[in-house]
C-alpha cells in the first residue's frame, strides 16, 4: 500500500481542511469499502460543478468507490463533462488533449509496470462517448488491438453534453438534439462488438440504477486488466440537460433505457475467468466439477 | 432560495434501508447516523442530508418513494429548515457518522 502520499506531513495536520482530515482518517484508502457501506465513510470524491441529478455523476461516484485499490489507482480523462468530477477525487488524474486518453493510458500503464514491477498500479480511463467513439476512436481501438492492460470506461450519455448537444456516434438513430435538429441519420455505433473483436478480455454494459452491479463490473474489469488484457465497460449515464429528463425521473429513465437498449451483458474470456477464480477467489468462475453423467459407465 | 432534501428521522429510523445514498449523485451528501431516533425507541438509525452539498435534484425522493416505498424524504426550501446537517458539523466514526444540527442559513 502506498498510503504515504495522502498522509499529513508532520506538523501540518491542524492546518489541513476538515474534508482532508476526514479523508485521511475515515476514507477508503487501505481498506476495503463497498457500496453497501456508502454514507458511513468519507468518500474521496469531493464537490464538483456537474449538473444536479446527472446520472454520469452518480456513475463516477460509484466507480470510484468500487476501485479495488483506490490508493494505487490513476484515472485518465479527456474533455467532456465527466472530467469535472473525476478530477475532484483524491486520486491522481491525468488529462491530455481531447481524445488522446487511450494513448496516454497505454504509456502510463507500461511505465508503471516498469517502475513498480508486479505491484499493481491500476490505470482507469473514464471518458464520454464523443471523446471515445468519435474523436478518440482510433486510439481506443489500437490500444485494444495492442492488448494494452488497463480499463476503459465509456460514460455514454449519447450526446456531446459539455458543448451543448451535438450528436455523437453513440447517439441513437433519429434522435433530435439542440445541435442536431434534423435528427441523427445513422445507427448507434456498436462499441461493445468492436471491443470483443479487438481482443478485450472483459466487456460489460451497465446502467447506474443498480449500484451493486456497477461495483461488481468495475472490480472485475480493473482486476482483469492487471494481468490478462484490456477491459471495457460501457455505462449508460444519461444527460438530463440535453435529453430534458426531469432530475427526479433520471432513475426511471435509466430503467427504461436498460430494458430497451442497455440490458446488462457481460463477456469474459476463459483466461480472465480462470485468473479471477484462481487469484481473487471468484467462486462464480471456478471450473464446474464433472457431473456424474459425464463419467463413463463401467 | 432553493430546495434541498430533508429526511424524516421518524420514518427512516423505522427501517433505515440505506438505499437513498446509493443513488444520490453527490458524494458525502446523504450520510447515516446509526443512533438517530434511538432515544425515541426507533431501532435502525437514520439517513440525513448534508444540505450544503445537496443540489436539490430530488432523485433520493424518487428512490425512497418508489424503490424503498418509505416516503421519508421531502424537498423543502433551505430557509424553511430551522436546523439541518452541514458538512463542517459532521463527525465520522468507525461505521457511522454523527452531526450537530445548525441553522443552514446562519450556520
Ligand atoms: C480538440 C478539441 N476539440 C473540441 C473540444 C471541445 N469539446 C470539449 S468537451 C466536448 C464534447 C464532449 O462530449 P463527450 O465526449 O461525449 O462527453 P460529454 O460532455 O457528453 O460527457 C468538445 C467537443 C476540445 N476540448 N478539444
Ligand atoms: S450537461 Fe448533461 S452530462 Fe453534462 S453534467 Fe450536465 S447533465 Fe451531466
Ligand atoms: S431510502 Fe428512505 S427509508 Fe431508506 S434510508 Fe433513505 S430516507 Fe431512509
Ligand atoms: S436532492 Fe439530489 S443531491 Fe440532494 S440529497 Fe437528494 S439525491 Fe442527493
For A89, which residue in chain B has the nearest alpha carbon? Answer: B27
Best CA proximity match to A208, nearest among A151, A258, A168, A169:
A258
Residue where the block lists cell 481498506: A31
Range of the domain at B41: 3-80
Ligand 2 centre to CA of A154 (Å) is 14
Domains held by chain A: number: 2
- Is residue A11 assigned to a domain? yes
What is the model's pLDDT at position A211? Answer: 97
In terms of domains, do A23 and A144 share one?
no
- Is residue B89 assigned to a domain? no
Q: For helices A211-227 and A55-66, give the axis angle rounded to 10 degrees.
A: 50
% residues pLDDT > 70 (chain A): 96
Q: Do B97 and A47 touch (CB under 8 A)?
A: no
pLDDT band at A78 (very low <50, low <70, confident <90, very high): very high
pLDDT greater than 60 at residue A294: no
- Is residue A298 assigned to a domain? no
Rounded to whole angstroms, the Cα distance separating A43 from B60 reads 18
- Is residue A293 assigned to a domain? no
Give the ligand whose atoms come closest to the C-alpha of residue B66: 3
- Is residue B106 assigned to a domain? no
pLDDT per position as a tens digit, A144-157: 999 999 999 999 99
Domain of B47: which CATH number?
3.30.70
In terms of domains, do A150 and A165 share one?
yes
- Is residue B15 assigned to a domain? yes
pLDDT band at A293 (very low <50, low <70, confident <90, very high): low
pLDDT averages per 10-residue partition of chain B, 107 residues: 96 93 98 94 94 98 97 97 96 95 89
Inter-chain contacts counted by CB atoms under 8 A, chains A and B = 85
In terms of domains, do A32 and A117 share one?
no
What is the model's pLDDT at position A216? Answer: 98
The Cα of A90 is separated from the nearest Cα of chain B by a number of Å equal to 13
pLDDT per position as a tens digit, A240-261: 999 999 999 999 999 999 999 9
Give the ligand whose atoms come closest to the C-alpha of residue B65: 3
Q: Considering the entire predicted model, what is its pTM?
A: 0.96
- Is residue B105 assigned to a domain? no
Q: Do A61 and B92 touch (CB under 8 A)?
A: no
What is the model's pLDDT at position A4? Answer: 75
Q: Which residues of chain B does A247 touch, with a Cβ-Cβ cutoff of 8 Å?
A: 57-59
**Residue partners of A4: CB distance under 8 A and separation at least 6:** none
Range of the domain at A110: 43-282
- Is residue A288 assigned to a domain? no
pLDDT band at A131 (very low <50, low <70, confident <90, very high): very high
In terms of domains, do A15 and A143 share one?
no
What is the model's pLDDT at position B102? Answer: 96
pLDDT band at A130 (very low <50, low <70, confident <90, very high): very high
In terms of domains, do A141 and A20 share one?
no
In terms of domains, do A37 and A73 share one?
no
- Reading phi first (left if > 0) and then psi (alpha if -120 to 50, else beta), residue A232 is in beta
Q: Which residues of chain A does B16 touch, with a Cβ-Cβ cutoff of 8 Å?
A: none
Higher local confidence (pLDDT), B105 or A223: A223
ipTM above 0.90, yes or no: yes
- Is residue B67 assigned to a domain? yes
- Is residue B97 assigned to a domain? no
The Cα of A142 is separated from the nearest Cα of chain B by a number of Å equal to 33
In terms of domains, do A199 and A70 share one?
yes
Q: Do A61 and B93 touch (CB under 8 A)?
A: no
Domains held by chain B: number: 1
- The set of cell numbers assigned to A120 is 499493481
pLDDT per position as a tens digit, A13-63: 889 999 999 999 999 998 889 999 999 999 999 999 999 999 999 999 999
Q: Do B27 and A43 touch (CB under 8 A)?
A: yes
For A56, which residue in chain B has the nearest alpha carbon? Answer: B25
Kindly report the average pLDDT of chain A as a whole number. 95
Higher local confidence (pLDDT), A298 or A163: A163
Residue where the block lists cell 428512490: B63
**Residue partners of B22: CB distance under 8 A and separation at least 6:** A35, A36, A38, A62, A211
For A57, which residue in chain B has the nearest alpha carbon? Answer: B25
- The set of cell numbers assigned to A166 is 451535438
pLDDT greater than 90 at residue A234: yes
- Which H or E run contains A116? helix A101-116
Backbone φ and ψ of A280, nearest 5°: -120, 10
Amino acid at each position: 500500500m502506498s498510503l504515504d502520499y495522502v498522509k499529513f506531513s508532520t506538523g501540518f495536520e491542524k492546518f489541513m481542511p476538515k474534508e482532508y482530515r476526514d479523508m485521511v482518517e475515515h476514507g477508503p484508502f487501505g481498506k476495503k469499502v463497498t457500496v453497501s457501506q456508502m454514507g458511513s465513510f468519507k468518500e474521496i470524491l469531493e464537490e464538483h460543478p456537474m449538473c444536479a441529478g446527472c446520472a454520469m455523476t452518480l456513475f463516477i461516484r460509484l466507480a470510484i468507490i468500487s476501485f479495488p485499490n483506490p490508493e494505487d489507482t490513476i484515472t485518465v480523462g479527456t474533455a467532456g463533462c465527466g472530467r469535472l468530477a473525476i478530477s475532484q477525487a483524491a486520486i491522481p488524474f491525468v488529462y491530455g488533449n481531447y481524445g488522446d486518453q487511450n494513448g496516454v493510458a497505454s504509456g502510463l500503464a507500461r511505465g508503471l509496470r516498469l517502475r513498480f514491477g508486479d505491484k499493481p498500479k491500476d490505470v482507469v480511463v473514464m471518458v464520454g462517448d464523443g471523446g471515445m467513439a468519435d474523436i478518440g476512436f482510433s486510439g481506443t481501438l489500437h490500444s485494444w488491438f495492442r492488448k494494452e492492460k488497463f480499463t476503459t470506461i465509456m460514460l455514454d450519455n449519447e450526446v456531446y453534453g459539455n458543448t451543448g448537444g451535438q450528436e455523437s456516434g453513440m447517439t441513437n438513430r433519429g434522435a433530435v438534439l439542440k445541435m442536431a435538429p434534423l435528427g441523427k441519420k445513422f445507427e448507434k455505433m456498436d462499441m461493445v462488438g468492436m471491443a470483443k473483436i479487438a481482443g478485450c478480455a472483459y466487456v460489460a454494459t451497465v446502467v447506474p440504477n443498480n449500484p451493486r452491479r456497477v461495483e461488481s463490473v468495475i472490480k472485475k474489469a480493473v482486476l482483469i486488466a492487471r494481468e490478462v488484457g484490456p477491459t471495457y465497460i460501457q455505462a449508460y449515464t444519461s444527460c438530463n440537460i440535453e435529453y430534458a429528463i426531469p432530475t427526479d425521473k433520471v432513475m426511471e429513465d435509466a430503467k427504461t433505457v436498460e430494458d430497451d437498449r442497455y440490458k446488462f451483458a457481460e463477456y469474459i474470456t476463459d483466461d480472465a475467468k480462470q485468473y479471477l477464480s484462481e487469484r481473487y477467489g471468484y467462486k462464480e468462475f471456478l471450473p464446474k466439477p464433472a457431473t456424474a453423467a459425464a463419467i463413463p459407465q463401467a | 432560495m432553493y430546495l434541498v432534501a430533508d429526511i424524516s428521522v421518524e420514518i427512516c429510523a423505522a427501517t433505515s434501508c440505506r438505499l437513498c445514498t446509493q443513488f444520490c449523485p453527490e458524494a458525502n451528501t446523504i450520510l447515516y447516523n446509526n443512533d438517530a431516533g434511538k432515544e425515541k425507541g426507533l431501532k435502525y438509525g437514520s439517513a440525513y442530508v448534508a444540505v450544503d452539498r445537496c443540489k436539490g435534484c430530488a432523485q433520493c425522493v424518487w428512490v425512497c418513494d418508489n424503490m424503498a416505498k418509505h416516503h421519508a424524504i421531502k424537498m423543502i426550501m433551505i430557509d424553511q429548515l430551522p436546523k439541518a446537517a452541514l458538512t463542517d458539523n459532521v463527525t465520522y466514526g468507525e461505521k457511522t457518522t454523527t452531526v450537530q444540527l445548525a441553522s443552514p442559513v446562519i450556520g
